[in-house]
Structures are given as C-alpha cells and as structure tokens.
Structure 1
Amino acid sequence: MSSPLASLSDLQLTLAELAQEFPFECELSLQPLISFWEQRIGQEDSLRGRLARLLQTELRQAPELYAPIRDLDVLQRHQELVEALMAVVFPPVFWDQEYAAALIPFQLRSFYSTPALSRNLMGPDGRLRGRLNVDKRTLVQFRLFNAYALVLGRVHGIHFPVDYPLIFTAPDPETELDRHFKIQFDGHFIEVEPVGPVPVLTDEVRARLQAGAPDLDTVAALIPPGSYRFRGFTVFRALDVTDQEVLSSLKRDLIDKESIVSNTRFEELQAKLRTLFRRPDLRLGLAAIQGDRVLSLNYGAKLDHSCIFADSVHEKIADYEGSIYMRASLERRPLFVEDLRSYPDRTAVEDGLLQSGVRNVVVAPLHYQEQTIGSMSLSSPKPGDLTTLQSPKLEEVLPLFSMAVKRSLDELHNRVQAFIKEKCTAIHPVVEWRFRQAVFGGLERQGAAPLAVPTEMEPIVFRDVHPLYAIADIRGSSTHRSWAIQADLLAQLGLAHDVLRAAHDERPLPILDQLSHRIEGHIANLEVSLRSGDEMAIIGFLRADIEALFDHLQTFGPGVSARIEAYRRAVDPRLGTVYAKRRDFEESVTLITDAVSAYIDLEEQAAQRMCPHYFEKQQTDGVDYTIYAGASVLEDGDFDPLYLKNLRLWQLMVACGIAVQADRLKDRLSVPLEVTNLILVQHSPLSIRFRFDEKRFDVDGAYNVRYEIIKKRIDKAVVRGTTERLTQPGKISLVYSHASEALEWRDYVDYLQTRGYLTSEVEDLELEELPGAQGLRALRVGINLGRDLDGRAALARFPGDVRVAPAS
C-alpha cells in the first residue's frame, strides 16, 4: 500500500489566489494531534496508553514535529512516525474506501491523503480533479464564516453551525463518468491563538450572536483581520453522494417541459443515468403510448420541434406483439435481458435491437394512475452490463420519467384539442378519439410539428350506425305563443286608448280622437287574428305616435298623468312592451323544457355506462335528442346487438318518464301546457358525416336523407283520413316504416305494459303522407302517469325480463 505522504502537492485547484485574500495567518502544525496522544499517556494499563508512550519516545527523536511546519520535507523525513500519529484520524483499514486528507488550515493544500482520495480525486500532478458547485465568492464567504465560527466558539464560547452543502464533482478515473462528493471540513485539530489582546464582547453582542447565525459583515466587525492565528490542520473528508445528487438533478431536469424532447436535454438525461448506473455505454430509450401508436424517443433521434409527436418515431402497438416491451407492459414490471443474442423468444423488435448493437437491455413500463402510458429502456452493447442488481436505482427514476412522459402527452393532447375545438367546437366524448386520429393522421401526412397544424382535417364518417330519435314537444306551443302576443298587444293598446280618452276629455282636440280611432282599428283587427308583421307595426305605431306625446299630455291634468303612469307600469322597461302573458308562457315553457332536459341528461348518463354512443340534444319549445350507436363510433369497435336492443327499450322507458315529469309540473305552470312524446323508429343503419362548415354531424348519402326529412316533419303528422294529430298528451307515438320494426317494438310495449309503465290500449295507425316521407305508420300507446318511472333502474334488468325480437 502506498504511503499517504507519497503524493504531497499543492491542492489549491484554480483557487490559489484565495490564500492571499484570507485575513488570518495559518500555520501547519501537528501539535494539536500530538497533544491528543499526550493526553492518553496517563492511561497506564491501556493499550492506547502504551501506544501513546511509545509515540512520545519516538517524538523525542523528532523535536521539529512539535514546531510549525513550513517545509513539507520534514514530514517526509519522519514518514513512519507521522503515519502512526495520523492512524487515530485516518485508520489504515479504511484507506481504500475513505476519501480523506489533512489540509493546512483554511487552505486547499494537503500534506496527507488516503490512497482512495489520491487515486480517484487527484490527478498525476497531485491536484484535485473536478469542480465545486459554488463560485469563488461563495467559497470565500464559506471559508470566512468557518474561521469566524471557530474563533467565537474557541475564544468566546459562542457556537453557531456553518453548514453549506459543498459538492465536489470529479470524473471517475476508470469510466470517466462524473462522481459527486459532499465535502466536510473538521477543525478539531486546529488551535486558535489570539494575536494581541482579546476583545471583550458585550452581553448585548453575545445575545445577538447567540440568537441566530449573524451576517458576515457583523462578525467581521467584531474580529479584525490579523487578530488571530490558526495553527494545526483541517481534516478534509469527501462523502460519495453520487446517487443522491443525480436523482435530485434528474428531478430538476424532468420538471422542464422540454426535458425529453430536446437533443441537448435528452443527452444530459442519458449522461446522468450513465453516472447513476456507473455504465458509460448505457443508452436511454423512451416511448409513449398515444392511441394505437407508440411514439419512440431514442438516443440519437433528431429532436427539433420540442414535441413528443413530431420528434418521435411512430409505430403501431401491434408491431410490438410478443416483444419484451409488450411483456413488460402486460406484467407491469421491469424485464432484464442480460444477453439478447441468447434470448429465446426474440421477435423482430429484439432482432432490430441486436442489429443496432444492443446486447443487454432492461425495459420498464411507465405508469400514471395505474395506467400504462409508455416505457423506458436502458441498453448496453455489453452483455450483463445491466442486471437485476440495478433494480432499486431503476425503481427510483421510473416515477420521474413517467411524470415527464405524461406531461409531454398532456401538452400534445392540449394542442390537438385546441385545434379540434377551432375546427369543430365541442365534440361528444365518445367520438373524440376519431377527431384526434384525424389530426394525428394529418400531421403524419404533412410531416410537421403540431405547432404547424394541418389546414384541413380528413373526412370524419361513421358508417353503419343505428339512429335513435325522440322528441318531447309542447303541444300547440306556437298557438299559445300567438295568443300570448295577442293578449299583450291588446292590453297595451287598451292602456294607450285610456290615455287618449282621458286627454280628449280634458282638451277635446280632434287629433286625439283620430289617434283613438287608429287604436280602435288595431284592436278590432287583433281580436280577429294576429297576422305576420302585426306585432312590429303596432309597437312602432305606439312608440312613434302615442308614447312620444306622453310628456306633453301629462300637462293636461292629474287624470291624464295617472293613465300615463298606469301605461308605463304595465310596460316592461327592458323590452318597452307589455310582456305579461308572454312572460307567463315563456316561464311555463322553460319550466317544462328544463325539467325534461335534466331528466334526459340523468337517464343518458346511465345509458352511456351501459353502452357508449353518440348523443346530441336540442332544446326549444320542447326537447329532442338523437343517438347514433354502433361499432364504428367506438374506438375499440366493441359493439353487440344486445346493447342496441337495450337502448331501444331505454328510449321507450325514458319517454314514459318524460310524460310523468311533465304531468307533475302542471300545478306549477302559469299557462296550462301539455307535452307529447314521439319516437322515430329506424332499424336500417346509416352513415353520418361531420360537416366542418356547420360544425355538426349529418346523415351521409342521398338514401339516408329521407331519415332527416322525416325527423324534421314527423311532429306535424296526422292520422290518415282524419285531421287528428298523431302526437297526443299522455301517449307515446312510435313512427315506423316496416312491419319488422313494429314487431320488435310491440315486444317492448308488451313488457312495459306488464311492468305498469304503459296502459293496455295500443293503436296501430296509418299516417297521411308528408312531403318526402310516404308509407309511414305508427303505434300509439297510453302512459301510466301515476307510476314512478325510472329508466336507469330497469337497464340492469333488461334483457333478462323480456323476450325481444332479433335486431333488424
């Protein structure tokens, strides 16, 4: 074993000038260490006491070791004795594991170091190899604080800790990978000697110093430069904290949103993983799962766009079937392959790795909230380079990379969503996957980053979907609205007429009588009917010809003023018209439609859980909704006719529930309104296309247009040979075109009759022809309005409680 004194040299690094800036004299001396041994001489019966006496004898032959040492050759001349003295500070048994040295006080000059430190942290010239984590100014302050703390502690009995995390980074001599060391300075063997009188500290100053760590200027004012001398040596220790430092650094790096999508950042991450795993040839690979794609980021990839989609290689998940990547994902654990060449279950994926020079690989799935979002791979050209012994370190970094991949995927998702929102506004969640797929397809075709989004999206068409349409309409809402307008206008005309008659009574001007005559004409016409344009014409007349006179007519007398005030109280200040009857009507309509809409939304949530489907709803003087169900609208394509039957039965049950909800509102309505229910039956599937100009779905193809025409006109249908409207309050109308459709829906009706949802009478009616829609028929059945109806509760029972006809 080489001597710790063999590599004596100046360890000032690049900071030699610091010694000139230090305000106190420092001397190298072994006296404090010798004193330590002399204190053990009195232990006569102990081995340590005998050893101390032996050293005392040897020291008498080397008196120069008692004096300050200015020539390091002195230590060389007494090498064996110095090593024996130092054995209590640096036990030889730890020389090859401990990074330690003895330094001249407050200087980075070593006169003694362990072989481990010399071998790993010092170059051939004896200088420390590496860098500190602080700048020169911070290092100066740290050294001064330590000096002042030593003076205050030893001389004045005032102790405050000086703890600053000094980290020294040096390349490993074998791998050239960075290693990080926490530096500790121990002043146990330093004596503090006053130069001149010791200043007395007042109680106030002592209290202030003891209250907390003071600032440097305050302490410097109490301890003038040159007032003390430090004699002895500093014990320097370097503790390997590579793993902790690398993990902390990785955490900081991976917080940055570009950490895995920047060439520079990616290489930095790889370098730190090489340091952590002590493997200079390690290569990092990351992959993210986006739909049915795998987005791969690997060492050497060109990362130009700061986007995980644009900067990655895109492959299909199916391409990884049977590979170690798929196995790791399915088994939800890291998989280590020590040598790919001898791996028995190689696929094209593993063969590709071998061709790229990889022999050793570990693949670990990345998870977020129990969901696999990607994978991380570490590879090496050396077989056995990475083994399960590295599992603990791997487990520490996996959550960090999961976070980074998730953030990049979220950013990609947000960019795509913003583009979809711009082009399509709100999209139903069930079909959102298809729009994302279209955006990604466009990006791949034009080979651009998402920041340069495609100008146009590919057509969005869902084929062979089954439509379900229903409407809950307020019966005669147009007539009720006309009546309300008519009543409000008559009331306002009557109030205006009262003003003019009162004014004419006060001053019988012929013009007032003429205006009264015009009002009487409007009243006479309104009492017959409300024609198109009447409302605007009458309001215009009242404002221009009547209300404009009010300020002057008020001067005719208190009787006229009272009539004008009555007119103004009756007029809505926001609308400028009498709005009483229309307000009653609108409030009644809103009460019904809000209640029906909320009921449908609640039932729709349950239906989505049973079978995801596209759903859209409109609310005007009633509520209508459309459902499109089928394999093509689902990302996984998993759709069974059983769920279609379930939705049809659900639709009938919801219509019953709507009728009950509306019936319960009657006592709260200002205007007696009634609700009718209609379901349009079509068992033939159709195709729907998203219209980007209208930002909505519409049927695709001329053949399917008939369905849309029927939807728009069916609520006006009448029974053939009569003037009776098909839709009636308290009943459900099921409009169909083919006998097979009626057969299946009769089964649902029979079931709900036995359950008490529907009454016993069922009508099978032929309908008058509608423009563009001929040959329609309808089933009409009464609703049991006294039953508490809940479509959600029955979904779980169906179809076990009812026989259903095959879907057609």
Structure 2
Amino acid sequence: METTLRDYPFRCVLNLKPLVDFWEQCTGAGCGKDVSHSAGFREPLMQIPILLEPIENLADLEPHRQLVSYLMDAVFPRALWDTEAMAAAVPFTLSPFLASPNFEGLLLNGDRSYRGHPCLAPDEYVRKRILRAYFFILKNCYGIEEGIDIPEIHVVPDPETGLDRYFSLTLNTRFVEIHRVGAPEILTPEQRETILANLNQPEVLRQVLPPEQFEFRGFVAIKAMEVTDQKVLAALDRDLIDKDSFISEPGFARLQQRLRTLFRMPDLTSSLAACLEDRVLLLNTGCHMVCNCIFTASRHVEAEVFDGSVFDRAMENGRILRVPDLAAEASLTTVDMDLLEGGLRSLMVVPLHYQEELIGTVALGAQHPDAFRPTHEMLADQLVPRFSMALARSLDELHKNVESVIKQKCTAVHPTVEWRFRKAVLEHLESAQKGEASELEPIVFREVYPLYGTSDIRGSSHARNAGIREDMTNHLSLALAVVHAASEVRRLPILDELAFQIVAHLDRVSDTFTTGDEAAILGFIHSQVEPLFKRFRELGGRVADAIEAYRTAIDSEKGTVYNKRRDFEESVSLFNERMSAYLDAEEAEAQAIFPHYFDKHQTDGIDYVVYMGASMMETGEFDELFVRNLRIWQLMVACGLAWHTEQLNGSLKVPLETTHLILVNHNPLAIRFRFDEKRFDVDGAYNVAHEIIRSRIDKATIREGTERLTQPGKISIVYSRLEEEREMRLHVAFLQYGGFLNDDLEEMELDDLPDVKGMKALRVGVNLRSSALADRLQRVMDSLAQSAPLAITC
C-alpha cells in the first residue's frame, strides 16, 4: 500500500530530563559551570516531577517558566538572550515552548504559532522533516552518517513593508534522545544496502524502519538568522536563467518583486534597457510582453534620445549612478522629465557590461527623495554580473533571430554591409510585433564607387571544344575498331553499314562539329553500337580485345572518353583555386585598410566587383583617397594574377594564358539588393549603363581593326573620361617605377559595342621577371598560408 507523507509519522515529546542530566553531570564533573548555579534549582526540581517526565501539553510549563528559563542558561547565554533570535522547541516538530524576544517578534504569532510559512511547498516540507528525523536515527542508532544537513528556511512578511524576509533556522539536537518502541531493530546487510541506496526516499526508509518504532524525547535549540539577501540573490540567479524573466510580463514582475525584497523597498520600480547599435530597447513592467524575443517584446527608442540624461551619464562613466532627487537636478532632459512626471524622485542607474562592452542598464527608482544609500549601491554591485550575463544571453538570441531572417531572405551577406541588413531586419521584426505585415525595406546604397576587374583564360572555349573533338574522335575510333574486328571474323553487310555510319560521324567531328552533335553521336553509340558488344564478344579473339580496350577507355560516370576534357577542367580548376586564394589574400589586406563590399565569381577565370562609399559605412566616414588606393591595388592584383599564371603553367596538364582587364568609372552610382535574386545590382536607368559596359567590354576590339583589346600577359584599362585616364596613367607610372609593369604603355580607342560607344583604353605589359613583384606576392601568399589550412607556395 502506498504510504502518504501528508502527516508527520514520528512521535515527538518534550522532555527536559536530558538538560537536567547535563546539569547533574556538571555538578560532579566540573564541566565549567558554577556548581552553586546547578544546586540552586536541584531542590525545586525535586518538588516539580513533571519537569523530569515527558510533557504532552506545553501549557503545563507555564507555571514553571522561570525555572525552565533558569535551566536553559546551559543552552542560551543570557548575554545574548535579548539580542539574538533563539528558541527551544519540541524535537523535529519545532513547536516552541521558550523563545527570546527577538524570536517572538520576528517569527511567532501571539498564540506561539509561526508567522509566514516554510520556504518549501507543504508536502515537500513534511518530506524534508521526515528525512531529517531518519538521518538522526541512522546516525545515532546504526552508525550510518550518510545524511546531509537539510536547511530549514522560513519566510515571514515584514510587518512594516509587507515584503518577505527569509530566516534560516539552525537546529541543535544536543538534547534529543531516541526511545525505541518494542524490540530494537537489527539491520541485515540487505536492509543497509537498501537504506544507503534510498537515503532521499522516505517512503522506502519507513518500510525498512517503521516510524512507529521510534520516539523522540527532549528538545531542540533553534537559532534564527536572516538570509534574505542570499535567498533573493539565489532566486534571481534561477530566474535569470529563464529568458522569460526578461521577455514576459509575469517574469519581469517577479524580478521586480525580488528586487523590492532585496532593497527593502515596497514601492521600488525597476526597468531594463538593452543597447543595440543605434537604438535602445526598453523593457519594464509597463510593456505588453507576449513574444519570445527580447527585441519584439520591447519599446524601441533611438539612442540619441538619451543624450545628456541620467542614463547617458551612468553609461558614459561606466559606474553606478545615484540620483538623490531628480527634481533638484540642474538640467533635465526629456527622458529625465518623463521619469519625474511618472512619480520617481530617487534613481539608481546600474550600467551592465559584457566582455568590457556596454550592453544595457538596470534602473531602480523610488517615489521619495534620498531613497538610495551607499549600502544600496553595494547591493547593486552584486546584481551587475547576474543581469549582464542574462541580458547578453538574450541579446545573443536576438542576434541569432536576426541572422536567421537574413539567411532566409538574403543568403550570405558581406560583413561590410551586414549592419544595414540587421537594421532592416530589426525594423521588420518591430513592425511584425506591432501587428503590421511588412516585407524587408529596400536595401539601397547611394553614391558608391564601383571598381571592376577580370582575369580571363584566353581561348578557354576553343580549348574546351578542342578537347571535346579529340575525346569524341577517340571514342568513335574505339567503336570503329570493335566493328572492324567483328567484320573480319564474320562478314556481314550490316557491319559494313555500321562502320560507314561511324566514319560519317568522325568526318563531322573533324569538320563542322557543333555542341548539339556531341549528344547525337553519344546517342548513336549507346543505342546502335554498344548493344551489339554482347554478341560480338562471342566471336572471341581480337574482337574481345577491342571491346575490352573500348570499355577501359570509357569514363564510367560520363559514358564517353573524357581524357582531354578532364585535363582541361582539372587545369582550369587548379588555376581558379590558386587565383581565388591569392585574390582572397589580397582582398583581406585591402579590407583592413578600408572596409568595402567585395564580390567575386569564378568560371573560366575570375572576375570581381568592389563597391565603396559613405552610405555603406555605418558611421558614414569616407574619403575618396581610399578609392584611389584601391585602383592602385587593382593594378597590383592584376600583376599578381598574371605572375601566378606564369608560375602555375609548368604544373598544368593544359597550359593556360590569361588576360586582365580593369574598368574605371569615376561616377558614383546606386546599388540595390535584389531579394528575389539574392544579390546586389545597380539601381536606376542611368546606372544600368555601367552594368552594360561591364558585361560587354571583355569582347572589345581596337578601333578599325580585328585585334582584341585583352592580350595575354598584359593589363587593359578601360575608361571614358579624361580625368580617369590621367589618374590611371599616374598609377601605371608608379608601378613601372616599382618594376611591376613594363615600359610599353599603349593608348587606343575601341570599336563601338552594342549600346557602348566612345570607350578608350590603356594597355601595359606585366613584368613577369620582376623581383619586386615576386617578393610582394610571396609575402601575400605567406600570410594566406598562416591563416588558412591550404598552404600555397609561389
């Protein structure tokens, strides 16, 4: 049958005899007590036998309270009786029969019942009391000292403030004795093992040791000590682990009530502010908090609103600020006036930092002046790490929510412009919190300078087509060898016709081969030739060898000969990998000089675009000096790409040649993020001209000729305005002086392209034997090798 813990199962009886025995022992043993003191109550005790026997009714003690108090001198020093909270009570029931004035005033009602309530729920409280009794039994009767000291915490409302106060009751069981009812219980080894395995389960313990077999006699001495601060701080720790303490109205109200208890101020109000970029997120009990995000559960205020306020002063100094009386402050901002009009006179602002960065404030206010003292500031110091960690955790969760929206709607975002996307997402979340359906606001950067460069593999299409031709020729030749071998063994006109068809395909490959022909030829081979191999293999000999040679040469994944194309693609892949790694290393150094948007693409070669301007900077700081610096950087990068091509060709299966082009445009333009395509594009009809030029200029030819502008080993610089030419000539001259470029600068006009007219160009050769260039590139690549697992050597 399941046992219940609702009622306390042990019999506990008050008995003063253990204390009387103590005094008797002192009389004869000289235990440090005055013998005459004990002799003074020996005779009265003989005349009051009730004091030497178990006392069922505490009222029986009332006529003898003075003598009982006299006896208690052994337990409670008289010097402390009027200042400490002490009491004597029935064992384990804690029913007091004697209490000091402080104990009575703090913890007892007029009928000597306890005020307030235990800190635990009723069932748990009884359960802990039962465990305490069993631990006492196990220690004193069976030598099992595995139990722990279970704290007795009592919650009492303060009569003046109504706020909870917490008291820890320390129990001294020196004068408690255990009396057995019936024969002593001898524990078997199995029972001991059961007890040790279930020390926290009173239901199991009472099956082994029924409480009816034990009776507690004597009394416990109780000392009460206030632990309000410790309990409240521990409760705050638990609350702040739960994010709802910040973002839900009940959670924040519970936090505020604990702060009132900690500061002993029933009218204390609290508020929490989080700093987030250029805004402040306000959380307080006045907010309507129903969401699970600190951002969407808050009111948002621009940070500049707080300039000069008490909050600004506290954050500026980084220290707790106490304001004795807001009304007496020399100058009040709008924020300060709002506090004053809200009924607050005293204020204490506590800055919160995480990893040396200011992340918010906790503000405590009261309705009367001079409410906060230096001791309150000491208490507030203990709040700082607790609230800082909790707020930092909540802000981190907010950042994760923002990142999630950015990834969902924008994929990866370049770090330089991430701030602008975060701002748009925050506005979007705020609108959603207000119930206003909205998409992310347009992300547009105006007045930005574009820089474009490309390094293409010269003749990549021709090289790829040549590889396809050679692979298809080899494939058809292998198929023809199988058919010829079969025809020599068994002369059949159908085999001659099949050979005729294969030869016709070979002629087409060598003559007028197009992209569509590859699929047609493979379809012919897979449907007309390969199905015959099973029957051909039966012919044995040379036919089987020809089929085996065919099978060996065919790529199992591609279904065709793929040797030359694989060589070309592996060469292009290795080239792109090396060029991309080098460009990343160069771009990292340029990014450190001044932040900018950078995007690159790889196909047969590599191209990149850079945008930079004041609108892309969160601070708005910008200087055109950095644009000119990046144009020099472009030229140096093009030199590096050409140098790497030269160095890399020795290790490529198919040697490659690269051409390098830079487009110069001094006119700033606007770019817009296209959410549907998840990329930036120029914005506005005027700016589209730049995109058109960028997409077509690599096909440009010299005016009135057929020569392509871009040539291997040279850098082509395309421009349209005189000031653009002048600047680039200066940059070229500087790099020629440094040994990066040859002294072969050319100036030329370009043929018109569709919708692109009047373009001009400079062209200059790269000094591929330059030691200065090699030294610089070695430094860049060494830097890359140290920061990435891929080691690349020049």
Alpha-carbon shift at residue 698 of structure 1 (Å): 0.9
Matches of 1:598 and 1:682, distance apart in 2: 26
The one of 387, 399, 402 equivalent to 1:401 is 387
Aligned match for 2:449, one of 450, 466, 475:
466
Which ranges of structure 2 fall in alignment gaps of 5 or more residues? 782-794
Measure how far apart 1:146 and its partner are.
3.7
What is the aligned partner in structure 2 of residue 505 from structure 1? 488
Q: Deviations over 1:118-158 (max 9, x none)?
A: 21222344321223244455444444444444445445555
Distance 1:791 1:18, change over 3 A: same
In structure 2, the residue matched to 1:570 is 553
Q: Secondary structure at the match of 2:155?
A: strand
2:317 counterpart of 1:331? yes
Counterpart of 1:586 (choices 569, 576, 601) is 569
Deviations 1:388-417 (A, max 9, x none): 312332222222222332333233333333
Shift of 1:761: 2.3
Residues 369 and 440 of structure 1: CA distance in aligned 2, closer, same or farther (over 3 Å) = same
Structure 2 vs 1, CA of residues 712 and 201 (structure 1 numbering), >3 Å: closer, same or farther? Answer: closer
CA displacement, residues 524-545 of structure 1 (integer Å, 9 cap, x when unaligned): 2322342242212221222222
For residue 186 of structure 1, what is the aligned residue in structure 2? 172
In the TM superposition, what is the alpha-carbon distance from 1:298 to its structure 2 partner?
A: 1.5
Q: Structure 1, residues 50-92: CA drift from partner, whole Å, max 9, x if none?
A: 4333344654565543333344344332333322322332334
Aligned ranges for residues 132-531 of structure 1 at < 5 Å? 132-155=118-141, 158-195=144-181, 197-199=183-185, 216=202, 220=206, 223=209, 225-445=211-431, 448=434, 454-531=437-514
Aligned equivalents of 2:148, 2:592: Cα separation in 1 = 63
Q: CA deviation at 1:462?
A: 0.6
- Residue 131 of structure 1 aligns to which amino acid in structure 2? H
Aligned-partner Cα distance in 1 for 2:145–2:162:
41
Which runs of structure 1 show a deviation greater than 6 angstroms over 4 or more consecutive aligned residues? 43-47, 202-212, 791-795
* Amino acid in the other structure paired with 2:745: V
Q: Mean alpha-carbon deviation: is it higher for 560-569 or for 176-185? A: 176-185
C-alpha spacing 1:574/1:482, structure 2 compared with 1 (3 Å): same
Q: Which residue does the alignment assign to 1:595?
A: 578
2:726 paired residue among 727, 740, 743: 743
Asked if the contact 1:460/1:689 (under 8 Å) is kept, the reply is yes
Residues 213 and 314 (structure 1), Cα distance of their counterparts in 2 relative to 1, 3 Å cut: closer
Answer yes or no: is the 8 Å Cα contact 2:297–2:433 preserved in 1. Answer: no
Residues 160 and 212 in structure 1, CA contact (< 8 A), matched pair in contact too = no
- Per-residue deviation, residues 360-394 of structure 1 (Å, max 9, x unmatched): 11112222222222211111112222223123322
1:773 aligns with 2:773: no
Q: 1:712 aligns with which of 661, 678, 695?
A: 695
SS at structure 2 position matched to 1:78:
helix
SS of the residue corresponding to residue 760 of structure 1 reads coil
Cα RMSD after superposing both structures: 2.8
Alignment-mate amino acid for residue 157 of structure 2: P
1:486 shift after superposition: 0.8
Distance, in Å, in 1 between the alignment partners of 2:775 and 2:691 is: 30
Deviation digits for residues 400-454 of structure 1, max 9, x if unmatched? 22233233323333333323322222221221222222233344456536xx8x4
Q: In the TM superposition, what whole-angstrom CA distance separates every residue of 1:147-179 from its partner, at most 9, and x where no partner exists?
A: 444445445555444422333222222211112
Secondary structure of 1:297's counterpart equals strand
Q: Show CA shifts across 1:470-522 (max 9, x none).
A: 11111110110111111111111111111121122122222221222222222
Q: Which is worse superposed, 113-122 or 709-718?
A: 113-122
| Contact 1:158/1:209, CA 8 A, preserved across alignment | no
The percent identity for this pair of structures is: 46
Residue from 633, 637, 640 that aligns with 1:657? 640
Stretch deviating more after TM superposition (457-466 or 244-253): 244-253
- SS of 2:244's partner is coil
Query: 1:685: which partner in 2?
Result: 668
Letter in 2 for 1:425: T
Deviates more, 1:422-431 or 1:263-272: 422-431
Task: State which drifts further: 479-488 or 433-442.
Answer: 433-442
Q: Is the 8 A contact 1:761 1:782 kept in 2?
A: yes
* Comparing 761-770 and 64-73, the one that deviates more: 64-73
Once the two structures are superposed, residues 567-605 of structure 1 have per-residue CA deviations (whole angstroms, 9 ceiling, x without a partner) of: 121111111111110000000110111110111112212
- Mark the CA change 1:226 to 1:714 in structure 2 (over 3 Å): closer, same or farther: closer
The one-letter code sitting in structure 1 at the alignment partner of 2:665 is: Q
User: Residue 41 of structure 1 aligns to a residue in which SS?
Assistant: helix
Q: Is the 8 A contact 1:328 1:335 kept in 2?
A: yes
Output the CA distance in 2 between the equivalents of 1:719 and 1:107: 106
Q: TM-score, normalised by structure 1?
A: 0.90
User: TM-score when scaled to structure 2?
Assistant: 0.91
| One-letter amino acid of the counterpart of residue 756, structure 2 | A
Whole-angstrom distance in 2 between the partners of 1:581 and 1:759: 35
Rounded to whole Å, the distance in 2 between the matches of 1:327 and 1:671 is 68
8 Å Cα contact 2:645-2:656 kept in structure 1: no
- Relative to structure 1, the CA distance from residue 113 to residue 712 in structure 2 (aligned partners, 3 Å threshold; closer, same or farther) is same
1:226 CA displacement: 4.5
Q: Is the 8 A contact 1:657 1:789 kept in 2?
A: no
Inter-partner Cα distance in structure 1 for 2:509 and 2:331: 89
Query: Corresponding residue for 2:58?
Result: 72
What is the SS of the residue equivalent to 1:111? strand
Q: Which runs of 5+ in 1 are unaligned?
A: 1-14, 796-808
| Deviation larger for 354-363 or 334-343 | 334-343
1:666 to 642, 646, 649: 649
Partner of 1:802: none
Report the Cα distance in structure 1 between the residues aligned to 2:189 and 2:292, rounded to whole angstroms. 61
Q: 1:55 to 1:412 in 2, by over 3 A?
A: same
Q: Structure 1 residues 710 and 158, CA, compared in 2 at 3 Å: closer, same or farther?
A: closer
| Residue correspondences, number | 775
